[in-house]
C-alpha cells in the first residue's frame, strides 16, 4: 500500500497557543485551572490536559469564585466576560487571535448599526461567541438554502462575517448568493477563513485525486476536521473521519492501493503516526509526504502567563 501524508496537517498556531495557555497556567497557578468548553475540539487533547489538572466546564457558574478560568481557542461573547468578572475569576484568554479578529469585525459592524450575516454552524462554540459580539443584530446563515431565503429589510446596511473553519468552496457559493440578493452587502476586508483551514483544505483538494481513499484524523466535534472529509467526498473519494487508529476498520482497506492521510487543526501528530503504524502492520507500506503549502505561523501566549523575557 502507498500512503500519501498531506502537509500541512495537524496543529495550527491557534491550537498550539491554546494548549500552551492551559499548560503554562497550570505551571504558574497550580491545579485546578478551569476551562470553559473544550479548549480545542479534540478528545485526546482534552483528556491529557484533564490529567494534568485542568477542569472543563460548560457554565461559568460551575467555576468557584476567585479561580483561574481559561476561555477556549474558539472564543466567547462579551456576556461570558461579564459573568467571569462577577465571579472574580482571573481570566486567561486562549481565544485564537484569528477568531478575535472576527469578533472585532462583529463588534465594529454592530456599533455602526449594520445588520450582520454570520456564515457558520449553529451551536458551534465559535459561532456562539461571535454572535455575542454582534449584539443581536445578527442572522446565522448555515447553507445555500438559508442564503436564498433569509429576509432582511431592504434599507438595512448589511455586512457578512464567517466562522474561521468553513469550507472555502461552500462559503464562496453562499457569499455569491448573498451578494446577488443584497448588492450593497459589505465583505470583510480580508477573508475570515483562517490560513490553517485554507491550507489543509487545499492539500486535500490537490492530493485526494492520487488516492483511493482518504483518512482524516480528527474529532467528530471538530468543524475543520469534518470539512476535510467533506472536501475529499466532494471530489468523489471515500473519506473516513477517525479519532485515532482504533477506529479504522480493516474492511475499508480491501483492494486499496493508495491512501491519503491528513489531520485536522486540533489533532496531535502522534495520532497520525498511530494510523501510519496501524496501516504498516496491516500490510507493507511506502510513505510519501507531500507539502502543498508551507506554514510558519506562531502566536504568543497572553502577557500574564508569558515567561519573563
Shortest distance (Å) from residue 198 CB to ligand SF4? 9
Shortest distance (Å) from residue 95 CB to ligand SF4? 9
Question: Which of these segments, 50-58, 95-103, 133-141, 174-182, binds ligand SF4 (CB under 6 A)?
Answer: 95-103
Characterize 86-114 residue by residue with b for buried, 16 or more Cβ atoms within 10 angstroms of its Cβ, and e for exposed: eeebebbbbbbebbebbbebbbebbeeeb
Rounded-to-integer distance, Cα 106 and Cα 192, Å: 11
Rounded-to-integer distance, Cα 187 and Cα 1, Å: 46
Location of C-alpha cell 468552496: 169
Rounded-to-integer distance, Cα 55 and Cα 36, Å: 9
β-partners of residue 289 are 5
Shortest distance (Å) from residue 224 CB to ligand SF4? 5
Under the criterion CB under 6 A, does residue 171 sit at the interface with ligand SF4? no
Under the criterion CB under 6 A, does residue 14 sit at the interface with ligand SF4? yes
90-93/68-71 β-pairing: parallel
Pick one of 19, 99, 134, 217: the residue that binds ligand SF4 (CB under 6 A): 99
DSSP state of 161: E
Q: Between 31 and 70, how does the x/- string for binding to ligand SF4 read (CB under 6 A)? A: ----------------------------------------
Pick one of 3, 5, 6, 15: the residue that binds ligand SF4 (CB under 6 A): 15
Pick one of 73, 147, 171, 272: the residue that binds ligand SF4 (CB under 6 A): 73
Pick one of 3, 6, 13, 243: the residue that binds ligand SF4 (CB under 6 A): 13
Residue 283 is among the residues annotated as catalytic for this protein: no
Amino acid at each position: 500500500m502507498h500512503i500519501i501524508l498531506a502537509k500541512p496537517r495537524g496543529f495550527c498556531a491557534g491550537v498550539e497557543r491554546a494548549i500552551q495557555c492551559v499548560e503554562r497556567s497550570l505551571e504558574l497557578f497550580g491545579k485546578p485551572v478551569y476551562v470553559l468548553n473544550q479548549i480545542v475540539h479534540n478528545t485526546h487533547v482534552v483528556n491529557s490536559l484533564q490529567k494534568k489538572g485542568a477542569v472543563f466546564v460548560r457554565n461559568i457558574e460551575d467555576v468557584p469564585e476567585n479561580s483561574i478560568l481559561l476561555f477556549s481557542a474558539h472564543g466567547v461573547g462579551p456576556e461570558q466576560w461579564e459573568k467571569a468578572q462577577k465571579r472574580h475569576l482571573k481570566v486567561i484568554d486562549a481565544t485564537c487571535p484569528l477568531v478575535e479578529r472576527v469578533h472585532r469585525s462583529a463588534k465594529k459592524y454592530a456599533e455602526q448599526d449594520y445588520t450582520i450575516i454570520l456564515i457558520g454552524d449553529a451551536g458551534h462554540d465559535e459561532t456562539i461567541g461571535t454572535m455575542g459580539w454582534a449584539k443581536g443584530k445578527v442572522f446565522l446563515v448555515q447553507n445555500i438554502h438559508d442564503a436564498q431565503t433569509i429576509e432582511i429589510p431592504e434599507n438595512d446596511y448589511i455586512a457578512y462575517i464567517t466562522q474561521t473553519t468553513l469550507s472555502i468552496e461552500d462559503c464562496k457559493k453562499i457569499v455569491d448568493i448573498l451578494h446577488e440578493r443584497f448588492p450593497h452587502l459589505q465583505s470583510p476586508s480580508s477573508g475570515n477563513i483562517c490560513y490553517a483551514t485554507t491550507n489543509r483544505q487545499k492539500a486535500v483538494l490537490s492530493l485526494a485525486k492520487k488516492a483511493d481513499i482518504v483518512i482524516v484524523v480528527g474529532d467528530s466535534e471538530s468543524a475543520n476536521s469534518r470539512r476535510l472529509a467533506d472536501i475529499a467526498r466532494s471530489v468523489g473519494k471515500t473519506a473516513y473521519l477517525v479519532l485515532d487508529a482504533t477506529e479504522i476498520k480493516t474492511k475499508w482497506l480491501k483492494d486499496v492501493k493508495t491512501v491519503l492521510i491528513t489531520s485536522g487543526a486540533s489533532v496531535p501528530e502522534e495520532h497520525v503516526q498511530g494510523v501510519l503504524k496501524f496501516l504498516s502492520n496491516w500490510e507493507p507500506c511506502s510513505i510519501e509526504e507531500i507539502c502543498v503549502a508551507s506554514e510558519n505561523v506562531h502566536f504568543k501566549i497572553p502577557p500574564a502567563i508569558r515567561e519573563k523575557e
